[in-house]
């Protein structure tokens, strides 16, 4: 359960670090690191307002989405210890439990009856469909490389044998997980959480009808996703056999570096044009496919 505690702890600092990094990069004083948490506290104290056109799906969607993300966090191992929930092929369950949360956020937006939110839901579904193969191909490469199909077995055995290749795959995996995380959490270059241009809004337009407590649940889910993908990056970089205290310190350091990296990318990188996003997402999947083919060659399953 230590990993869950670390994920929850870092999730609440993550958005503040990104915000602070962007402020420093743009030369502004801006709010402090704890500003997103203060905003959450305000939202949690407020009630939710529901349009008469919405139904039960819209009301339960934020809770189910957050529950799905919390369930996904139970599959992440930490410091060589098995995850609280672990079984063969659990990375497939991990991907689809997150997909279920996204599905409910999409149909919740459609339940408002707004064509504007329907436009955002359509884009969200399309982009998630394009990025999903990259995650599966990457984890399939990890599974082929180690011979295991569970997170709790893949990462502890990642550096056990063929360590020369493990370093290469950890770098590739780190790069791909960062790209996947930015799509999953609706960040630049695919999406922009601060945009107000109607024709380019994706995730933000889906939650326009959410308010108060429900909106806080949505933001908490996004923050947890950051920490979950940061935890996957940590597991793919740091060998599981290192001392627990060293791994704990490195976990916090990697999460901070991950947040700073996202803040810098959003400060100096422009958002993609909408028609360029499919090509960008398919390129990520293509890189993952190259890694998978190389794994087949290394493990002598493709001659």
Number of domains in the chain: 1
- pLDDT, tens digit (0-9, with 9 covering 90-100), for 149-180: 999 999 988 876 555 677 788 888 899 999 99
Residue 303 domain-assigned (yes or no): no
| Residue 208: burial class (beta carbons within 10 Å; 0-12, 13-18, 19+) | middle
In a domain, 128, yes or no: yes
Q: Is residue 50 a part of any domain in this protein?
A: yes
Rounded-to-integer distance, Cα 155 and Cα 173, Å: 12
Domain membership of residue 253 (yes or no) is yes
Strand spans (E) along 14-71? none
Is this structure's pTM higher than 0.85?
Answer: yes
Chain segment 192-204, per-residue pLDDT in tens: 887 777 677 888 8
- Write out the residue range of the structural domain in which residue 230 sits: 2-298
Asked, for residue 245, whether it belongs to a domain, the answer is yes
Q: What is the pLDDT of residues 5-55, one digit of tens each?
A: 899 999 988 999 999 999 999 888 888 899 999 999 999 999 889 989 999
């Amino acid at each position: 359960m230590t990993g869950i505690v670390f994920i929850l702890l870092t999730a609440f600092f993550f958005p503040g670090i990104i915000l602070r990094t962007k402020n420093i990069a743009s030369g502004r004083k801006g709010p402090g690191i704890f500003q997103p948490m203060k905003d959450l506290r305000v939202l949690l104290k407020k009630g939710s307002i529901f349009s008469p056109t919405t139904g039960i799906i819209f009301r339960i969607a934020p809770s189910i989405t957050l529950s799905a993300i919390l369930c996904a966090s139970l599959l992440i191992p930490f410091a060589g210890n098995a995850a609280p929930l672990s079984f063969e092929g659990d990375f497939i369950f991990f991907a689809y439990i997150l997909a279920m949360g996204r599905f409910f956020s999409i149909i919740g937006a459609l339940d408002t009856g707004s064509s504007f939110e329907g436009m955002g839901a359509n884009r969200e579904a399309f982009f998630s469909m394009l990025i999903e193969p990259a995650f599966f191909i990457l984890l399939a490469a990890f599974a082929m490389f180690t011979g295991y199909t569970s997170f709790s077995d893949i990462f502890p055995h990642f550096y056990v044998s063929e360590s020369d290749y493990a370093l290469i795959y950890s770098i590739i995996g780190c790069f791909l997980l960062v790209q996947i995380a930015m799509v999953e959490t609706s960040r630049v270059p695919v999406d922009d959480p601060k945009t107000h241009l109607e024709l380019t809004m994706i995730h933000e337009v889906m939650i326009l009808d959410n308010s108060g407590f429900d909106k806080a649940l949505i933001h908490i889910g996004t923050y947890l996703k950051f920490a979950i993908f940061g935890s996957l990056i940590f597991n793919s970089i740091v060998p599981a056999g290192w001392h627990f205290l060293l791994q704990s310190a490195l976990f916090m350091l990697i999460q901070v570096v991950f947040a700073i990296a996202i803040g810098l990318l959003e400060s100096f990188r422009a958002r993609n044009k909408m028609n360029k996003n499919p090509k960008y997402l398919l390129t990520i999947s293509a890189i993952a496919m190259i890694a998978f083919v190389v794994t087949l060659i290394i493990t002598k399953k493709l001659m």
